[in-house]
Structure 1
Amino acid sequence: MTSKSSDKILKRMMDLHPKVIDLTLDRVLKLLDALNNPHKKLPPVIHIAGTNGKGSTLSMIRSGLESAGKSVHTYTSPHLIRFNERIRLAGKLITEDELSSLLDECYEANSGEEITYFEITTCAAILAMSRQEANYTLLEVGLGGRLDATNVVERPELAVITPISLDHEQFLGNSIEKISLEKAGIIKKNTPVVVSSQNEKAFEVIEKKARALSAPIYAHGNQWLAWEERGRLVYQDDRGLLDIPYPSLKGDHQIINAGCALQALRLLENGKLKNFEEVMGKVHWPARMQKLKDGVLNKYLPSAEIWLDGGHNPAAGEAIAAHLSKLSPRPTYAICGMLNTKDVKGFLTPLEAQIDKLFGISIPDETNTLSGKETSKEANCVGIESSISNSVEAALKIIKNEAKNPRIIICGSLYLAGHVLKLHEYEIK
């Protein structure tokens, strides 16, 4: 098969449903039944929901399990450059031939029925993971939890809920309580749930759901704690205290993500997993406060410090601002592109104190992109000097003429982040 076989099938799948998102489990369960119920044949599942930190926490759990000698399947979304990033089988990215064959099989089994792109591709991922041996399966929720296509596993080994904040309100509800109820939908009867740092309203919803299902709860601030001390990560639960290397992923929020991952790992196999703690200092997850090095974009401005982050909601804006505030002073620029469904003002407001100038751009090849003009206008509204640029490259050229040794944060969307990594000729392995 050619390298474009899966792309052609994925394009066909986009036309199977008039909506991009239509939350229900009926279509997924029907297709899985036609595929002989692969969701009932997966290795033990760790199911991860939340607004921010799902991918980072998953990558830490995966690294910890692999360091302990376990083989791990993973399913994440969205992808940054190529679709096959979403599916790892026993640690390795699914091959083009495997992916094309699975997508074709699912397409045929669906028999032209209405089904969303995410639903049918999730079925393909589940089918792939059911056919190869591994010790664990890590499933990242796509949107919400209760009606997400990944929520077909009847009895996961563990549920994990990362920090919850406002996002995707048009699908999940316009309050923290409503959104939290959707996220808590991954909790299953008698299944332990690890809960990251939450605001009070979110935690109350999660705790109520867990109690109703007799699901043991392991919550930040109650059953476990994580903090930074002397440049290291300190973690504590009822089994004792760990003093380990600081997370390699940048930002103070990664301390909590690492703590959440550690609690999950310490619950597995009756606490008998070994040799996973030190790996927190070696985890990599692209487009999460990622410093771009030794690539195409660095050639535009050799003296610049270039960061990339795909966060797109107010909590992500706060996390980026907190990280920038701890860096040494430099002229600081943002190149920002966002979807028209996002809270642009909420994302940009925390950045006002850290950004000297912002360039608003449209996200290339993205139907739902906000225009650079609109992004720039919103930046002006929150007090950030801003301008419009036609592209990332054009913005970099302007910055080169305006400042020596600048710091640049490219932000606002994982779709923009994927475009930037492709420009940078970055390879995800």
Structure 2
Amino acid sequence: MKDFAASEDPAVQAQLDRLAQLSLPQGRIGLEVVHELLRLLGDPQNRLPPVFHVAGTNGKGSTCAYLRAILEADGKVVHTATKPHLVRYNERIRLAGELVSDAELASLLKEVLDIGESLGPSFFEVTTAATFLAFSRHPADACVIEVGLGGRLDATNVMERPAACGIATLGIDHEAFLLVPEPGAPEEPMVRIAFEKAGIARPGSPLITQSYREDMALEIERIAGLAGAPLHMRGRDWWAEVGQGKNGTIEYRDRFGELTLPLPALPGRHQGDNAALAVALLRHQDEVNVSPASMAEGIRTARWPARMQLLGQGPLSALVPGREVWLDGGHNVDAGLALGRHFAETDGLHLIIGMLSNRYPDAILDPLKGKLKTITAVPIDGSDAHGAESYADKAVWAPDIMTALKNIPDDGLPVLIAGSLYLAGKVLQKNEEVPD
């Protein structure tokens, strides 16, 4: 699956068409090509402001959102690189808080594609090189960079000494890439995931993580030790109690002291955990100073589209007036568990779901058992997706989101649209809530 994109700007579209022709060459995954591509571009990854590099299976994007919001609340100028895009490719490159312009995006992509033509780079290698090139050309106080796939062999994993590296929640995902047998790699699946994610560790760069089961924690500790990265793990070096206190707070502490922080506006207990990781990342590095007040303000104001997002007024939500319409792009077990927790007190729920054919529907359905009044399956434009028969005997098919919403029973119960970030992007576009 490639992250195809479209643009109304002809110059951008011309380069996106070139990008769409790229794929991951069969049998190749590694950092050799991206290193050579960056060398031809003058190694822009070595000329960046202090970098926060974040990996994980779930929560890495939200952690990046909190980092950006906290840094900006402190008056810092921040570049961010997140993925995938939801509606516009421009979302992947944010310069000083603003999406990269069409004109600069077209120029960046052309420059990278032209200079790397003989290397046969992948979509992700070109995207990463263009991002680093953009970041190196605009002054900023910090960069926040989200890992794409895994960590050890992800195209972003070329920086020599980030200010800090972080690892969010871990789970099984992208098995076709991350669980391929390899000499020297752990065989147990979750330990292998820990091995891959911990591969972002760098000499002298603090590595800050959530807590994990013992065998996974030991693997991360081993990799950090081999890399010479100071390790700061939740439950060992820092602690956070989420949802404590009269009004609900994050009670955070580490060797530097204690903080009482607000719960995020983003829904879900897991968002408190993600916010706490962002705070731990900032407190265990010494290249960018941030005040506790800015940490609290950033946690309150952070936004992260398509992750348990309550849709606003728009053409889609208007089709089911008077009820909540939630959107979530999660597609794995941890994402399903978060949905289950969020809707635990709900009397009933209508699910509209679209999942890529290489995903597992039970990851979303099982945590919502007993809550689902209807299940409507929808296609994902341009992708192979599961049919209604993959979800449940009572699931029905609709040709598109609008038809699915129109057919929801008029009972006032909330609606959840879930299963894929690709689908989520289409929903945001149709509801006129394009990320900016």
2:185 is aligned to none
**1:394 matches 2:403:** yes
SS at match of 1:107: helix
- Of residues 366, 381, 385, the one that matches 1:349 is 366
d(CA) in 1 for partners of 2:209 and 2:432?
37
The letter of the residue matching 1:180 is A
d(CA) in 2 for partners of 1:272 and 1:24?
34
Q: Quote the sequence identity (%).
A: 39
2:275 is aligned to 258
- Of residues 292, 304, 313, the one that matches 2:311 is 292
SS at match of 2:303: coil
- Of residues 119, 128, 135, the one that matches 2:125 is 119
Q: Contact conserved, 1:16 with 1:113, CA < 8 A, in 2?
A: no
1:277 is aligned to 295
2:257 is aligned to 240
Offset, 1:225: 2.0
- 1:379-416 Cα deviation digits (max 9, x unpaired): 227xxx421111111111110xx232121110001000
- 1:325-359 Cα deviation digits (max 9, x unpaired): 14x43x31111111122222233221223322211
Q: Contact conserved, 2:37 with 2:119, CA < 8 A, in 1?
A: no
Unaligned stretches of 5+ residues in structure 2:
1-6, 181-188
Unaligned stretches of 5+ residues in structure 1:
none
- Of residues 76, 80, 90, the one that matches 1:74 is 80
Provide the TM-score with structure 1 as the length reference.
0.93
Q: Contact conserved, 2:331 with 2:363, CA < 8 A, in 1?
A: no
**1:129 matches 2:135:** yes
2:220 is aligned to 206
1:338 is aligned to 355
Offset, 1:285: 0.5
- Pair 1:214–1:110, CA change in 2 (3 A): closer
Q: Which runs of 4+ in 1 moved over 6 A?
A: none
- Of residues 377, 395, 404, the one that matches 2:389 is 377
- Pair 1:386–1:2, CA change in 2 (3 A): closer
Q: Contact conserved, 1:64 with 1:265, CA < 8 A, in 2?
A: no
d(CA) in 2 for partners of 1:260 and 1:22?
33
Offset, 1:141: 0.7
The letter of the residue matching 1:360 is A
- Pair 1:233–1:20, CA change in 2 (3 A): farther
SS at match of 1:268: coil
Offset, 1:84: 0.4
Q: Contact conserved, 1:321 with 1:354, CA < 8 A, in 2?
A: no
2:418 is aligned to 411
- Pair 1:22–1:318, CA change in 2 (3 A): farther
d(CA) in 1 for partners of 2:368 and 2:203?
41
The letter of the residue matching 2:420 is S
Offset, 1:197: 3.2
- Pair 1:213–1:30, CA change in 2 (3 A): closer
Q: How many residues align?
A: 417
1:427 is aligned to 434
1:193 is aligned to 207
Provide the TM-score with structure 2 as the length reference.
0.91
Offset, 1:157: 1.1
The letter of the residue matching 2:407 is I
Q: Contact conserved, 2:112 with 2:126, CA < 8 A, in 1?
A: yes
1:303 is aligned to 322
1:364 is aligned to 381
SS at match of 1:97: helix
Deviation larger for 241-250 or 78-87? 241-250
SS at match of 1:47: strand
**1:169 matches 2:181:** no
